[in-house]
């Protein structure tokens, strides 16, 4: 390889990596002062790390830069501009007399700290972009003479970082601050703080990457700096479009959320991190509620929350509320006029409002202050040719901007399509096609680019276009976040077909499940497992889906397969716990959950399962412990918060749990999960009026309030409003045709109303949706028995026994059917089987005794009654049946005594008159 074409990886003093760069690019960056001489350098991909100053060509360039700037022989603290909080703090404001509505100069507090030197005359709207130059050459040479041992340690650490940071072209990894680093005095970090702010203000990809490095460095050495944490979180938000957007990147943000919450609990800085975390997880309603809460609390203070004006503007812009968004963005601009991002967002909003001149002027102003702003240059180029009919100027802007890829893919795609249209207008179809293909490769959802390819090159040319798997996955993720699961699953399927990407198959399955295509979802999960047998997440997801379909055996087999693949996976044991919860086996949940937590003690999902199981077991203290830890790990996790409220209610009373949920509802007014939990808590405590009000609120708030319909139907059923309850259940069934629960509940109501035919219709619909739905054959048997068809009832009970052999109700119903058919021996046999499943239920022994009596086995009948008395001596039915046995035996006195005991225990017995007639007949010696 030629010397000039070598590629290098650079590692700075904080251990962060850049590159790979060519030799020429490294020399160029040294010349610009971007490398200070403290960095280490290694040939890409597997070269050894050495100080950059030990390479002769780079050493010469460092000397050259030093010779041009003699002021470099200063310490970092004196060479870097002083940092003062009024301009840069996320919590502080610029004095009113310095605020402007356009990007303006840095405040005088910073200007006064600059070394005195001749400056060019500035326009009022310019932003001062501070150039932080390299360190003194003495420090460079000292670093070059580090002991061999230190160099080797640095090499080992750098190599580890290098391999962990390997990434696709065009995608980046977010970097998290490392904990337990040696702390330094905040004053010694002034230079790094100022440099981080300066790069942050530029609003460019390169600037945010450098700002990320600086803020991480600061937080590692000043772990109490919550302002740096807030700015780091907002930096993550700007880098998110370029990131992998996977679990690894999400964990980086979550780690800073935890750090900021510990340092600044309840403060605006920690709230900024929580808002960013919610936004990147697509939990926009929660993010919006949190942002509004902070603005309500802080906006009228002496320190308005600048970042939250921006965040509110961004969230409004995402929902196409352009005018309100501009209002908040202008507030951010006035408070912090050096930050370019709010101006860019305002210009984009103005374009959508068709205020093209205002948008164009704003973009030009941005470019005067930062000519390297790629997004502004692309957007202005599009305006120049589309709205102002200046094709040459527009083309010039676009070509300059598109020389690099320092913009989100969607913006780059629009830029290339703009060049395609300009070329098409010139009649240069070949160039237009080339640009259109580039636009389509960057964003396959760009339908205009797609149509232009077909227009010029035909369908065959379009079919030749191969969108990269990474791009398809990225676009699929975007659609998934927007709730467009149809489009998302199409992208994931295409990604899988292109490269057999198992993650694509997994995500396609998740989309299909949300679309109620459960069978196809399971098929795609099997594809994912077949493609990558070590993809544990696919196994666990498949087991979850099977459990939700009540196919518990299939779910268990899937988890066993996963366990063989990775016996040390906490996800597998969490999957077992989830399965046991679905089976209502709380003790099983605890057992498997403990094993999962032994492998990963901070797994939030497992902690929630443990809390839910503990609530079922009424061990509210343990439930509170598990839920508290889950909330501590992820304060925004809705299930964790609900479990915490339920544990509180169990420990301290329902009112305490209700008050906690009310606070959540007030803080997150648009998050219906908290309202739903509040309504359920009222319902469980039989506070029907309050529950009804809450569920009706949810129905108004949600577009598809299926669960609210179901819960409200329970309230109305309890209040006797049966017809409306049935209507709500049918509405819920229409909203989600794959969910059989509303139809099952409707069938149960019809049974209670003694309308067996209508009930049977609903239960048959349940079977059409899911043949494994529990208790449905049992309910069909009940309907058949009400129709006086015991043979059909027996057929259904046999089917229920096969599906759920441990369900005692099926055996009890079969016994009733046999009794109706006067098959008393079979009746007794069924009751005996039921007793094995419910040995503590006294009334089953009474019914068994009745069958024995009718079969003529009086001694066995009396023995069963004696057992029943040991289980529940006050059960009136025992003495009624005892009286019948004595009556058969001809023991009139004992029969009358037993019947009178029956009345004593149940004075309002429904058959009292009949029993009194029997007593009278016995006393007179007559037979009834």
Contacts of 759 by beta carbon, 8 Å cutoff, 6+ apart: 747, 748, 750, 751, 779, 782, 783
Q: State which residues of the chain have pLDDT below 50.
A: 1, 69-168
3-state helix, strand, coil split of the chain in percent (to 5) is 70, 0, 25
Q: How far apart are CA 234 and CA 28, in angstroms?
A: 30
Contacts of 386 by beta carbon, 8 Å cutoff, 6+ apart: 394, 418
Question: Would you state the pLDDT for residue 134?
Answer: 33
CA 15 to chain centre: 31
Closest by Cα among 698, 700, 679 to 690: 679
Closest by Cα among 277, 262, 264, 336 to 304: 336
Q: How far apart are CA 225 and CA 185, in angstroms?
A: 11
Q: How far apart are CA 869 and CA 845, in angstroms?
A: 9
- Residue 384: which region, alpha, beta or left (left: phi > 0; alpha: psi -120 to 50)? alpha
**Residue 561: both structure tokens together:** 């397969």
Cross-strand partners of 51: 40
Question: Would you state the pLDDT for residue 474?
Answer: 72
Q: Quick count: other Cβ atoms within 10 Å of Cβ 816?
A: 21
Question: Would you state the pLDDT for residue 103?
Answer: 36
Cross-strand partners of 11: 17, 40
SS3 per-residue string spanning 295-327:
HHHHCCCCCCCHHHHHHHHHHHHHCCCHHHHHH
Q: How far apart are CA 751 and CA 742, in angstroms?
A: 14
CA 577 to chain centre: 20
**Residue 153: both structure tokens together:** 């340690």
Closest by Cα among 834, 744, 749 to 797: 834
Query: Is residue 808 within 8 Å of 777, Cβ to Cβ?
Result: no
Q: Quick count: other Cβ atoms within 10 Å of Cβ 238?
A: 20
Question: Would you state the pLDDT for residue 734?
Answer: 92
- Describe the strand order of the beta sheet including 40-43 as a list of residue ranges: 17-22, 7-11, 40-43, 50-51
**Residue 825: both structure tokens together:** 């021996």
Cross-strand partners of 50: 41
pLDDT in tens, 209-263: 999 999 999 999 999 999 999 999 999 999 988 887 665 787 799 889 888 887 8
Q: Quick count: other Cβ atoms within 10 Å of Cβ 224?
A: 13
Terminal Cα distance for the chain, rounded: 113
Q: In this structure, what are the phi and psi dihedrals at residue 30, rounded to the nearest 5 degrees?
A: -65, -45
Q: In this structure, what are the phi and psi dihedrals at residue 857, rounded to the nearest 5 degrees?
A: -95, 80
Question: Would you state the pLDDT for residue 383?
Answer: 94
Q: In this structure, what are the phi and psi dihedrals at residue 748, rounded to the nearest 5 degrees?
A: -65, -35
Any idea how long the chain is? 928
Distances in Å between the alpha carbon of 158 and those of 19, 20, 34, 141, 182?
Answer: 14, 14, 20, 20, 19
Query: Is residue 640 within 8 Å of 631, Cβ to Cβ?
Result: yes
Tell me the Cα Rg of the chain: 36
Closest by Cα among 183, 225, 291 to 89: 225
Query: Is residue 604 within 8 Å of 637, Cβ to Cβ?
Result: yes
DSSP assignment of 90-148: SS----GGG--SS--PPPHHHHTTSPP---PPPPTT--------PPPHHHHHHHHT--H
What is the β-pairing status of strands 40-43 and 7-11?
antiparallel
Angle, helices 268-280 vs 306-318, to 10°: value is 20
The H or E element containing residue 41 is strand 40-43
Q: How far apart are CA 213 and CA 440, in angstroms?
A: 33
Question: Would you state the pLDDT for residue 501?
Answer: 80
Distances in Å between the alpha carbon of 284 and those of 473, 671, 865?
Answer: 21, 10, 62
Question: Would you state the pLDDT for residue 120?
Answer: 42
**Residue 604: both structure tokens together:** 């939030």
């Amino acid at each position: 390889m030629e010397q000039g074409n070598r590629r290098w990886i650079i590692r700075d003093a904080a251990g962060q990596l850049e590159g790979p760069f060519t030799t020429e690019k490294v020399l160029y960056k040294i010349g610009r002062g971007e490398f200070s001489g403290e960095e280490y350098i290694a040939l890409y991909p597997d070269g050894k790390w050495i100080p950059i100053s030990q390479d002769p060509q780079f050493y010469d360039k460092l000397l050259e830069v030093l010779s041009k700037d003699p002021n470099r022989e200063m310490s970092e603290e004196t060479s870097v501009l002083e940092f003062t909080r009024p301009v840069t703090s996320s919590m502080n404001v610029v004095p009113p007399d310095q605020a402007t509505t356009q990007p303006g100069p840095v405040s005088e507090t910073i200007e006064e700290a600059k070394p005195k030197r001749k400056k060019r005359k500035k326009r009022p709207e310019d932003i001062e972009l501070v150039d932080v130059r390299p360190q003194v050459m003495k420090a460079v040479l000292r670093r070059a003479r580090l002991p061999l041992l230190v160099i080797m340690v640095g090499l080992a650490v750098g190599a580890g970082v290098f391999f962990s940071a390997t990434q696709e072209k065009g995608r980046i990894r977010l970097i998290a601050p490392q904990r337990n680093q040696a702390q330094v005095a905040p004053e010694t970090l002034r230079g790094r703080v100022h440099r981080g702010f300066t790069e942050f203000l530029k609003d460019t990809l390169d600037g945010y990457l450098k700002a990320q490095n600086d803020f991480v460095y600061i937080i590692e050495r000043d772990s109490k700096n919550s302002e740096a944490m807030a700015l780091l979180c907002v930096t993550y938000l700007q880098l998110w479009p370029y990131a992998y957007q996977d679990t690894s990147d999400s964990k980086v943000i979550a780690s800073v959320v935890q750090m900021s919450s510990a340092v600044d609990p309840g403060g605006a800085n920690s709230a900024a991190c929580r808002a960013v975390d919610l936004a990147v997880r697509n939990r926009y309603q929660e993010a919006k509620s949190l942002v509004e809460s902070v603005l309500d609390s802080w906006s009228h203070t002496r320190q308005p929350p600048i970042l939250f004006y921006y965040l509110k503007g961004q969230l409004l812009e995402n929902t196409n509320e352009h005018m309100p968004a501009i209002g908040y963005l202008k507030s951010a601009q006035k408070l912090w006029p050096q930050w370019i991002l709010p101006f860019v967002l305002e210009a984009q909003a103005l374009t959508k409002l068709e205020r093209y001149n205002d948008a164009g002027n704003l973009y030009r102003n941005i470019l005067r202050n930062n000519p390297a702003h790629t997004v502004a240059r692309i957007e202005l180029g599009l305006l120049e040719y589309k709205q102002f009919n200046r094709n040459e100027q527009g083309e010039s802007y676009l070509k300059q901007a598109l020389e690099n890829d320092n913009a989100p893919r969607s913006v780059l795609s629009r830029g290339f399509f703009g060049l395609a249209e300009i070329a098409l207008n010139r009649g240069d179809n070949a160039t237009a096609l080339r640009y259109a293909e580039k636009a389509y490769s960057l964003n396959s959802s760009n339908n205009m680019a797609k149509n232009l390819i077909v227009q010029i090159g035909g369908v065959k040319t379009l079919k030749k276009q191969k969108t990269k798997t990474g791009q398809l996955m990225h676009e699929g993720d975007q659609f998934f976040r927007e709730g467009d699961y149809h489009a998302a699953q199409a992208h994931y399927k295409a990604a899988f077909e292109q490269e057999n990407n198992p993650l694509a198959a997994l995500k396609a399955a998740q989309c299909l499940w949300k679309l109620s295509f459960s069978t196809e979802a399971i098929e795609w999960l099997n594809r994912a497992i077949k493609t990558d047998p070590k993809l544990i997440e696919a196994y666990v997801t498949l087991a979850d889906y099977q459990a939700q379909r009540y196919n518990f055996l299939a779910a268990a087999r899937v988890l066993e397969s996963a366990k063989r693949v990775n016996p040390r996976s906490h996800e597998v044991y969490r999957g077992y716990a989830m399965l046991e919860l679905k089976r209502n086996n709380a003790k099983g949940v605890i057992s498997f959950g403990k094993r999962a937590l032994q492998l990963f003690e901070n797994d939030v999902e497992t902690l929630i399962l443990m809390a839910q199981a503990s609530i079922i077991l009424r061990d509210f203290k343990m439930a509170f412990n598990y839920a508290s830890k889950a909330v501590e790990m992820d304060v925004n996790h809705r299930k964790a918060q609900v479990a915490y409220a339920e544990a509180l209610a169990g420990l301290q009373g329902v009112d305490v749990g209700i008050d906690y949920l009310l606070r959540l509802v007030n803080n997150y007014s648009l998050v219906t999960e908290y309202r739903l939990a509040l309504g359920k808590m009222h319902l469980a405590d039989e506070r029907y009026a309050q529950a009804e009000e809450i569920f009706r609120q949810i129905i108004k708030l949600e577009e598809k309030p299926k669960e609210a319909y179901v819960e409200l139907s329970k309230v109305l059923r309890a209040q006797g409003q049966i017809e409306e309850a049935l209507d709500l259940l049918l509405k819920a069934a229409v909203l989600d045709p794959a969910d059989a629960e509303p139809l099952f509940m409707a069938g149960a109501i019809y049974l209670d109303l003694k309308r067996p035919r209508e009930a049977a219709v609903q239960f048959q619909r349940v079977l059409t949706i899911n043949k494994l739905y529990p208790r449905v054959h049992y309910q069909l048997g009940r309907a058949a028995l009400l129709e006086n068809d015991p043979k059909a009832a027996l057929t259904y009970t046999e089917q229920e026994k096969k599906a759920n052999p441990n369900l005692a109700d099926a055996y009890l119903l079969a016994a009733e059917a046999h009794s109706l058919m006067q098959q008393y021996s079979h009746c007794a046999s069924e009751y005996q089987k039921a007793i094995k499943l419910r040995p503590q239920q006294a009334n089953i022994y009474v019914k068994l005794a009745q069958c024995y009596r009718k079969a003529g086995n009086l001694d066995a009948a009396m023995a069963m009654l004696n057992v029943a008395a040991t289980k529940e001596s006050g059960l009136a039915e025992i003495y009624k049946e005892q009286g019948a046995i004595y009556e058969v035996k001809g023991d009139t006195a004992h029969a009358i005594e037993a019947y009178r005991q029956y009345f004593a225990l149940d004075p309002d017995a429904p058959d009292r008159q009949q029993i009194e007639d029997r007593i009278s007949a016995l006393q007179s010696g007559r037979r009834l």
